[in-house]
Structure 1
Amino acid sequence: MPTASFTVAIDGPAAAGKGTISKGVAARFGLAHLDTGLLYRAVGRRTLDGVDSVTAAQSLTAEELEQGDLRTADVAQAASKVAVIPEVRSALVDFQRAFARRAGGAVLDGRDIGTVICPHAEVKLFVTASPEVRAERRYLELNAKGADVTREQVLADVRERDSRDAARSAAPMKAADDAVLLDTSDLSIDDALAQAIAVVQKKLPVAD
């Protein structure tokens, strides 16, 4: 575990596996972990209750990240919509940057960590997979939770989110120029995590 700040930035589209990989990397190296998507999901969740999106972002508390319904499809769509609002993103930047530079190191996953939030991160990964593979993963996840969705609906949602995230004017989703690309389309979770760990291991500071 690093004694000084050491930031791992992991970006990528929905259901590519970045959350699982991020948690695994954090556990392997004893780093703190922040799923930055939860920030936007928490803001999106409040907008579903009628709260203004900018107001929700500016008043967001850590406790709101622990809500149990932040993984629903409705909240995911709301999160994607508020994430295109520059004032929302600005309100959440300081929280993310402070977390990233904490002593002992941190792993942050999202869509603009390596490009906007932590452009000087020691490690940058861009985790991706084909839309069809990601949609199937998300469908199986939702189906296991009893959601009434079809594969066609989930694929359409995945493509819609990809388009919106990539086209937004504020911090569009894209790989940083110096990010390592990790395509998980044909990889098991174990293999994808092993590759990510190998990338981080090479960048860790050598102890005196």
Structure 2
Amino acid sequence: MIITIDGPAGSGKSTAARLLAKTLGIAYLDTGATYRALTLAAMQRELNLADEAALADLAGRLDLHMEPAETGTVVVLNGQDVSAEIRTAEVTDKAHHAADSPAVRAVLVTLQRRIGEELARRSGGVVAEGRDQGSVVFPDADVKFYLDASPEVRARRRYEEMAARGEDVSLQQVLEAIRRRDQRDRSRPAGPLVRPPGAIEIDTSDMTVEQMVSELLRWVRRAR
């Protein structure tokens, strides 16, 4: 079974996807990690992130693996666990260069599909989350979800996550970053953020994590 969860930053999709996968006993795939890992690799090589050709070339040579873990997914880049490193504010701020590039997306979508299908075979299913999973990567998924929430709620969630990691940011800075990212995600030419055809849309603004997962489970069980 392939389940996709798409939505904007802070909508709750990552947390919900991890817990849904754990509850169902199947794999979890954070596809956004591929763009972050590529960004980190480019930064380590001091590449110009605005050079789409160089980024696409690096994407094609990326030594990237994802392994299921109790906490979700371990991201391994060039043999090193970079799960925490790809979540820093610097990588987050620069990842849009990779995500906005049609050439890069073409390479990474193929990689995401391969990883997702491999995880599904090994685990009996996969929950893939991102921004174009149900629309581009797995258009024939068994169940598709689109999660959303108000910008203010999403900013608060992201701010609390970053503060818990010790990052020095203000709520206003996070809100402004969320709005900029929404604009970029919805207007990019390749793989824009949209509600996938046939997706179940859920507003998570007033929902706890437990309520989110319960609602997702209800729909998944109905589809089985």
TM-score scaled by length of structure 2 = 0.84
Aligned: 1:179 with 2:195: no
1:87 correspondence with 2:89: no
After TM superposition, give the deviation of residue 81 of structure 1 in Å: 2.2
Q: Secondary structure at the match of 2:19?
A: helix
Aligned match of 1:124: 144
Contact 1:46 1:53 in 2 (8 A): no
Post-superposition shift, 1:143?
Answer: 1.8
Q: Displacement, 1:28?
A: 1.4
Q: CA deviation at 1:56?
A: 2.6
What TM-score do the two structures reach when normalised by structure 1?
0.91
- Asked whether 1:188 is paired with 2:208, we answer yes
2:161 to 138, 141, 146: 141
State the Cα distance separating 1:55 from its structure 2 match: 2.6
Q: Where does residue 10 of structure 1 map in the other structure?
A: 5
- Distance in 2 separating the partners of 1:84 and 1:22: 23
**Residues 7, 123 of structure 1: 8 Å contact kept:** yes
In 1, Cα distance between equivalents of 2:214 and 2:220: 10
Measured in 2, the distance between the counterparts of 1:143 and 1:133 equals 15
Corresponding residue for 1:96?
112
1:15 Cα offset (Å):
1.3
Structure 1 match to 2:185 = 165
CA distance in 2, matches of 1:96, 1:34: 8
Specify the alignment match of 1:34 in structure 2: 29
**Which stretch has the larger CA shift, 21-30 or 95-104?**
95-104
User: What is the number of equivalent residue pairs in this alignment?
Assistant: 199
Displacement of 1:152 in angstroms is 1.1
